[in-house]
Structure 1
Amino acid sequence: MKTHVKALVVGGGAVGTSIAYHLGKAGWDTMLLERDELTSGSTWHAAGLLPYFNMSFATTHIHDYSIKFYKTLEEETGLNAGFSVCGNLRMARTQERMDEYALYSSTAETVGVPHQWMKPSEIKERWPLIRTDDLKGAIYHNTDGYINPADVTMAMAKGARQHGVTIERKWQVDGYEWTGSEWRVTITKMVEKGGNLVASDEQTVITAEHVVTATGNHAQRTAELLKIKIPAIPVEHQFIVMEQDPALVEWRKTNPEHPVIRDADAQSYVREERGGWILGVYEKNAPARFEYGVPDSFRADLFQLDLERIEQQYMEMIHRIPSCETCGLKDDFNGPICYTPDGNPLVGPAPGLRNMWLAEGFSFGITAAGGTGYYLAQMMVEGEAEIDMASLDPKRYGSWMTTEFAARKNEECYDHVYILHHPDEERPAARPLRTSPAYDRQAARGAQFGWVNGWERPNYYAPEGFSDHDSRSFRRGGWWEYAVEEAKAIREGVGLVDATAFTKHIVKGAGAEAFLDWFTTNKLPRVGRINLTYALTDAGTTRTEYTIVRLADDEFYLVSAGAWTTYDADYLRKAIEDKEPEFGRIECQDVTTQWGVFAIAGPKSRDVLNAVIKDRDPETALSNKRFPWLSAKKIELGMCPVNAIRVAYTGELGWELHHPIEMQNYLFDLLEKAGEPHGMKLVGARAQNWLRQEKSYRAFGTELGRDATPLEADLPRFVDLSKDFRGKAAMESLGIRSKCVTLLIDGPDDADPWGREALYSGEMKVGRLTSGGYSVAFGKSIGMGYVSPELAEVGTKLKVRMQRQLWDATVVEDSPYDPKNETIRKDG
């Protein structure tokens, strides 16, 4: 056995085997370890479906690669991967479900996924065994289907060996140690004993420059060995195999195989199996299992079937395919499938560790395996993938995450597989968990909360008795009118936004200035001033957006997106570790939970603050002379000390009020009372999102990400090319491949874009939206997105696809609302 490799992959399921294949193909000396046999985890009992359907841009790319890649394996390896390209028919019983498919279609269209729409009559004509009288229609993918999980895994394993990968079975990892330059991985030989797999006395050590864990159901054991948290916990998943259906047998004598039949409103899928049917369900009350690790006695085992739990879905199958009613039960499966709280896998660098990569939490592991191997190998070998993988990054969950949280959210995610995936949905499990002190006050005033990195953050405010759940829609939901009034309040009067979830770091020390000058793209501000800047990846794309406040010559306050606290902290701290020997002592402290933030904005915001500010001359304390735009000062509001920043994400006159979090309720009451004479409204995140688009303010995770540079985001004013900074040469070498633009859209009367839609020039697809919403300033839909540079000129006429139709859109100047920033600079 080898004792040193460049990359060690731990886990021999479909995902781990694909990663080993792609690393080997890239030329890396790679070894794969499996504690049992290849496919002995969830891979062996997976149904093998390959659905394209996914609302995530990154995951859709991953699925697209897998489906295309699997079709090439037989030619390369000589092994048939068992791919039945029968297609996938996803049916809808309601118009709202069709609206969901239309939104999915937007994402699929931007990736280039082929699909077509079908009427009920067309379904019935083509597949007469399917009942269609209660359907509204369907979306059909003719290029996917299902695959034999064991066959595709073995084909990838053979391909991996052909690319030089070593595969070792019956070896269990029992320890990881980072030496500063490589990993020492202690492994133990596993042996059969009485039908169980047990550890022997034989141990050895493998050294590897990089380690990838793809340990599936064993993710909690991996987390314990690495001393990190991984919110990947299995949930029971049941499917049953039925005896032959005579009607199906007769049909197949002269007709091709049915597509995979998905009845989303019945929470189930059905496919053919040897003249019979397989029924798989995503029912409620399926329990999480193995929260603290898989028992040693559990190998390729299953749980006891719970037919009562899936009785409703079984009856729905008979309703949809009446001929199956007399078919008996042939076989059943109830096995563990790993989930994460949001259903997306955890793919990328492990938090706090060097050269340790995670590929865990795959609820659709067969579909995602091929693409995960491809894009993760790109990240490892080339430094970055060609698509933005941030939405799958393991660090999207912070250290606050617990086993109980993950288990309950994963159960919820499982039973939400087939619910209507509204773009404005908020899932209730494990909530509220992280709350700012003003949470109860906001709730009493009608706040309808969203979930951001565990924090409860008001999305909008509604009257008593209003139901957020019932207001959700793929068009303009019941909340829309309240968000409109909130947006108008900031444009015309004054509004107060809770921005406590912002990520906040203090970076200080003798080396802080030199480090941040290298770490970020813009000039550093003077003491008491702020700037907007970006940290880049080594590939030259945008890794993080920061507002930097300079508190002293050697002390800086960094504010970044609230959804990405651990993601930002990990990148920042690793960079400091690398550069501290060169620049000198640097301290970094995450102070996110120490400081609350209220953003007050609007033409009357100064009037509200003037009523409560304590200053020798309160009439001038907030004037341009004493407190200019893009500056920061310590002020006192009543008895609350505040670090105030004159900046507003809404583009109006305003301030961010960073305050000791233990004084938040006092400050909330003070501002609320002072705001009453001025008609101040409480404002949520949805109105704020619309307002920032009127100012063309890019947001991290939408316009800003690891697939575009700040120059492609059209932000040259925040990039100082006269200095050296991380990723500069790579950024310049990429050039301008596409460009970010703002568009005003003449859309339908009852809908706005969500930021997933395709953009067209004539009949040609030329780009995609990354954000969307409604503009109160212009009285129409607004969006931001990327197009080729030649189409980014102001006045360019484009089309945007919404609800299956093309609507007129026009590229407008950056910051179409108040392009000269006159309102935000207003004196007083």
Structure 2
Amino acid sequence: MKTHTRAVVIGGGVVGVSVLYHLAKLGWSDVVLVERSELTSGSTWHAAGGMHTINGDTNMSYLQSYTVKIYEELERESGLSCGIHRVGCLYVAANEQCYDYFKMERARARHLGLDLEFVSMDEVKKINPLIETKHFISALFDPNDGHVDPSSVTNAYAKAARNKGAEIYRNTPVIELKPTPSGGWLVVTSQGTIETEVVINAAGLWGREVGALVGLNLPIMPMEHMYVVTNEIPEVAALGQEIPMSIDFDGESYLRQEGKGLLIGTYENAAKHWSVDGTPQSFGHELLENDLDRITDAMAVAMERYPCLVEGGIKRIINGPMIFAPDGNPIIGPVRGLRNYFVATGVMAGFSQAGGVGLAVAQWVIDGEPGMDVFAMDVARFGDHVNKSYVLEKTMENYRRRFTITCPNEELPAARPLKTSPVYDKLRAEGAVFGAANGWEYPLWFAPKGVDPVEKPSFRRSNAFPHVAAECKAVREQVGLFETSSYAKFEVTGNGASAFLDKLMTNKLPSKDGRAGLCPMLTPKGQVLGDLTVTRLSPERYLLIGSPTATEYYMRWFQSHLPADDSVAVRDVTADWMGFSLTGPKTREVLSQLTTEDLSHAAFPFLAARQMTVGLAKALVIRVSFTGELGFEIYCEPKFQRHILDRLCAAGAAHGLRLCGVRALNSLRLEKGYGSWGREFSIDYNAAEAGIEKLTKLDKGEFIGRDAAAVAFKAGAKRKLAIMAVDVAETDPIGNEPVLQNGKVIGRLTSAGYGHTVGTAIALSYLPVELAKPGSKVEIEVLGEMRPATILAEPPYDPSGARMRA
């Protein structure tokens, strides 16, 4: 066994061998994998082997498509069969909501070049004569899908990796992980110790145990999952060819052919965790005790929809553990505070996702970034609120909803409310309908008196639409009040604070106390990493504010670049600063009643910040706006927030003040053409494409990504962020829909929604520069309909920004 290597992958399931293979493929041939038992132990060996390209996240769909496509390459490179059955998959819909979901997914697939098409019930019957079509109203066929043999795929990855120089050590459990002074690791195993630069935890069912070796509590939990293989069924044997897979969302089941019988599995409501306190080291190629009572109801529905199952009988029952994250997505990436330690776990859909996960993790290890925005899988999407109890509640919810259609406006209830601001109960009493981000509850919209504060899930305009419109109108004409307590907030202090931030930010830092600035951050390759408001409180103290979902993501970035001399400290102070955004043309009239400070434009210009008294409470007030109107953000200690809310509401009553939520904020920012983090600003786009040249000061000295940004600006962007007005009827685009010109896909929407005060749907998209000319006509596919859209020369609302700077 080697004693030194560049990277050690821990875990010999399909995810681990995929990571190993991709590391070697990308040039790191001096890598090894250690497996506690045999390859495929744990979950891989008993998986059903389904492969699918559909996913609600566009980039994850791309990585799943990559996973499906790589199997042929693996066969060529390894000389081994992967047991590929590319028979396609029929997704059947029993209700209109599921039908809408299919329309959305087909549209998104166009951008990825995937050929998904609707088929009639007559065609369904031809493709799969076993389906009783009377239960369904539509069907979507994906020819890319199918299934593979789990053990064959794993061994093909392993051999292809070995062919490129990688080594695999079986029956080699990891006993200890020790950091080295150089930033690497000592991997202590039962067969000896390996010194390595990088460790990748791909231990699957044992991911928690491997994480615990370094003090890490990974948010994953095993769930029991059962599927049934039937005896030979005459109707199946008589088909003469293999039928496509079928997924019945309403029936919560999946089905495929297995020889001359069928394999059917369910994600039942009577779900069950397994080995909550840790996976036994002795577990490997065992199955769990059969528990058919759990799936009886789902099987009864399946027998109605596939009648031949009634006569099939059971050949064998597979009940095995699968690893789940709270939201069902994989957990990958570097871990904050653990240098050169990566995770690649929580991959419950391994044969749809392992190839893409392996590619992204290998690129992250080698290049320092994953090559595309993978935040939906990033371990940093979870905050410090994600403990064992939280994981238990959310994994149970996720398992039960695996085949339940979740609408874009739907907020799931498990493990909520968790983090609440001091005014949570007051806002709820005022009709707030809440969402959650990083564990924090925040208002989505407010139901007026007499209206039930519940939003009905939908892919179309919901019952919230007129109330959000009224909130937008109040902001544009009078004054709106948004709660901002959930915003990510960081305090950077120390005599090295300025130099530290100057290295991270593309823009010049505020040069005076009491000033704020808009400061993006880039990766070393010049891709957009972040977007923050930076306020200088003193020469050695700064407050940074950003998106709530990016809290852990930003903290990881900050900590990984801290100087070693303790001259800088970074703290997450989100819970220490509660806040509001007061915005609209009547804002000064309201706030001036609560303070003796001069709020005039001359005394308090845009991006000024000041410590002042609001009512009777101390607060930090920053003049900034995300709505395009005059606005102030007000931050205070939690003990003062209720007082400030009461005083603002009392002072605003005469000026038409209205409580507002994030739905209105999103509509208002679209009317201004403002991008947001995770949509327009992500590592999918470089500085030139994102249009942040004015916020990127190449002459200010060195900063991360400067050289790459300079090259991008000099070369010019090949695509630009375009704003479009979309002609809609009663259904609005929401984001990720394809943009077509002359029938050809030229981009996808990053954000979209209805602009309530301009009277049209607004969309943002990165388009080829030559096709993004103002006045150009394009089409947006919105739930199966091609809607005409026009590229605008400027945002439709106050393009000069005069109102915000008034």
On whether the aligned pair clears a TM of 0.5, the verdict is yes
- 1:409 and 1:774 map into 2 onto residues whose CA distance is 31
Where 1:540 maps in the other structure, the secondary structure is coil
Is 1:543 the counterpart of 2:529? The answer is yes
Per-residue Cα deviation, 1:266-297 (whole angstroms, up to 9, x for no partner): 00011111211111001113122233310233
| Conservation of the 8 A alpha-carbon contact between 2:128 and 2:244 | no
Residue 823 of structure 1 corresponds to 803
- 2:307 and 2:683 map into 1 onto residues whose CA distance is 49
Cα distance change on mapping 1:466 and 1:89 into 2, 3 Å? farther
* Displacement after TM superposition at 1:184 (Å): 3.2
CA RMSD of aligned residues (A): 1.5
Residue 749 of structure 2 corresponds to 769
Is 1:738 the counterpart of 2:719? The answer is yes
| Conservation of the 8 A alpha-carbon contact between 1:468 and 1:479 | no
* Unmatched runs of 5 consecutive residues or more in structure 2: none
Residue 282 of structure 1 corresponds to 267
Per mean C-alpha deviation after superposition, the further-off stretch among 465-474 and 360-369 is 465-474
Residue 663 of structure 2 corresponds to 686
| One of 680, 693, 709 as aligned partner of 1:716 | 693
| One of 734, 751, 775 as aligned partner of 1:754 | 734
| One of 629, 641, 646 as aligned partner of 1:669 | 646
Where 1:36 maps in the other structure, the secondary structure is coil
Where 2:422 maps in the other structure, the secondary structure is coil
- 1:82 and 1:520 map into 2 onto residues whose CA distance is 50
Is 1:184 the counterpart of 2:185? The answer is yes
| Conservation of the 8 A alpha-carbon contact between 1:503 and 1:592 | yes
Residue 561 of structure 1 corresponds to 547
Is 1:810 the counterpart of 2:793? The answer is no
Residue 27 of structure 2 corresponds to 27
| Conservation of the 8 A alpha-carbon contact between 2:448 and 2:467 | no
* Displacement after TM superposition at 1:572 (Å): 0.8
Residue 502 of structure 1 corresponds to 487
Residue 14 of structure 1 corresponds to 14
Report 1:564-579 matches (<5 A).
564-577=550-563
Residue 214 of structure 1 corresponds to 202
Where 1:72 maps in the other structure, the secondary structure is helix
Is 1:457 the counterpart of 2:437? The answer is no
* Displacement after TM superposition at 1:310 (Å): 1.1
2:541 alignment partner AA: E
Per-residue Cα deviation, 1:184-204 (whole angstroms, up to 9, x for no partner): 334333xxxxxxxxxxxxx52
| One of 434, 445, 448 as aligned partner of 2:433 | 448
- 1:466 and 1:381 map into 2 onto residues whose CA distance is 54
Is 1:534 the counterpart of 2:520? The answer is yes
- 1:662 and 1:230 map into 2 onto residues whose CA distance is 33
| Conservation of the 8 A alpha-carbon contact between 2:433 and 2:454 | no
Where 2:395 maps in the other structure, the secondary structure is helix
Per mean C-alpha deviation after superposition, the further-off stretch among 223-232 and 57-66 is 223-232
Is 1:589 the counterpart of 2:571? The answer is yes
* Displacement after TM superposition at 1:497 (Å): 0.5
Residue 697 of structure 1 corresponds to 674
Is 1:48 the counterpart of 2:33? The answer is no
Where 1:711 maps in the other structure, the secondary structure is helix
* Displacement after TM superposition at 1:237 (Å): 0.9
- 1:511 and 1:562 map into 2 onto residues whose CA distance is 26
Where 1:772 maps in the other structure, the secondary structure is strand
Residue 196 of structure 1 corresponds to none
Per-residue Cα deviation, 1:697-718 (whole angstroms, up to 9, x for no partner): 1111000001112321112111
- 2:39 and 2:184 map into 1 onto residues whose CA distance is 24
1:22 alignment partner AA: H
Where 1:392 maps in the other structure, the secondary structure is coil
| Conservation of the 8 A alpha-carbon contact between 2:525 and 2:708 | yes
Cα distance change on mapping 1:126 and 1:360 into 2, 3 Å? closer
Percent identity (aligned): 37
Residue 72 of structure 1 corresponds to 73
- 1:427 and 1:467 map into 2 onto residues whose CA distance is 18
Is 1:298 the counterpart of 2:283? The answer is yes
Residue 198 of structure 1 corresponds to none
Per-residue Cα deviation, 1:85-143 (whole angstroms, up to 9, x for no partner): 11110000112111011112232222222211112122123322211123111111112
- 1:112 and 1:539 map into 2 onto residues whose CA distance is 27
Per mean C-alpha deviation after superposition, the further-off stretch among 767-776 and 783-792 is 783-792
* Displacement after TM superposition at 1:815 (Å): 3.4
* Displacement after TM superposition at 1:640 (Å): 1.0
Report 1:256-335 matches (<5 A).
256-335=241-320
Where 1:55 maps in the other structure, the secondary structure is coil
Where 1:226 maps in the other structure, the secondary structure is coil
Where 1:391 maps in the other structure, the secondary structure is coil
Where 2:262 maps in the other structure, the secondary structure is strand
Where 2:578 maps in the other structure, the secondary structure is strand
| Conservation of the 8 A alpha-carbon contact between 1:390 and 1:705 | no
* Displacement after TM superposition at 1:732 (Å): 3.2
Residue 422 of structure 1 corresponds to 407
| One of 683, 699, 703 as aligned partner of 1:725 | 703
Report 1:340-419 matches (<5 A).
340-419=325-404
Per mean C-alpha deviation after superposition, the further-off stretch among 591-600 and 214-223 is 214-223
Where 2:147 maps in the other structure, the secondary structure is strand
1:801 alignment partner AA: E
- 2:474 and 2:455 map into 1 onto residues whose CA distance is 25
* Displacement after TM superposition at 1:470 (Å): 5.7
Is 1:636 the counterpart of 2:618? The answer is no
* Displacement after TM superposition at 1:312 (Å): 1.6
1:134 alignment partner AA: H
- 1:293 and 1:125 map into 2 onto residues whose CA distance is 47
- 1:798 and 1:370 map into 2 onto residues whose CA distance is 34
Q: TM-score, normalized by length of structure 2? A: 0.97
Residue 193 of structure 1 corresponds to none
Per-residue Cα deviation, 1:141-200 (whole angstroms, up to 9, x for no partner): 1122000010000011000100001000011112212113243334333xxxxxxxxxxx
| Conservation of the 8 A alpha-carbon contact between 1:219 and 1:293 | no
Per-residue Cα deviation, 1:61-106 (whole angstroms, up to 9, x for no partner): 1111111001222222110000101111000011211101111223
1:236 alignment partner AA: E
| One of 216, 229, 233 as aligned partner of 1:241 | 229
Is 1:231 the counterpart of 2:213? The answer is no
Per-residue Cα deviation, 1:211-262 (whole angstroms, up to 9, x for no partner): 111011112112211212311111111111111111111122xxx2110111
| One of 315, 323, 333 as aligned partner of 1:338 | 323
Is 1:606 the counterpart of 2:583? The answer is no
Per-residue Cα deviation, 1:558-598 (whole angstroms, up to 9, x for no partner): 11111111110110121123xx55xx822222211100010
- 1:239 and 1:66 map into 2 onto residues whose CA distance is 23
Per mean C-alpha deviation after superposition, the further-off stretch among 662-671 and 267-276 is 662-671
- 2:449 and 2:284 map into 1 onto residues whose CA distance is 53
| Conservation of the 8 A alpha-carbon contact between 1:269 and 1:281 | yes
| Conservation of the 8 A alpha-carbon contact between 1:349 and 1:394 | yes
Cα distance change on mapping 1:823 and 1:119 into 2, 3 Å? same
| Conservation of the 8 A alpha-carbon contact between 1:232 and 1:339 | yes
Per-residue Cα deviation, 1:443-474 (whole angstroms, up to 9, x for no partner): 11111110101111111112468667661110
- 2:453 and 2:460 map into 1 onto residues whose CA distance is 14
* Displacement after TM superposition at 1:610 (Å): 1.7
* Displacement after TM superposition at 1:795 (Å): 2.1
- 2:570 and 2:143 map into 1 onto residues whose CA distance is 52
- 2:519 and 2:688 map into 1 onto residues whose CA distance is 12
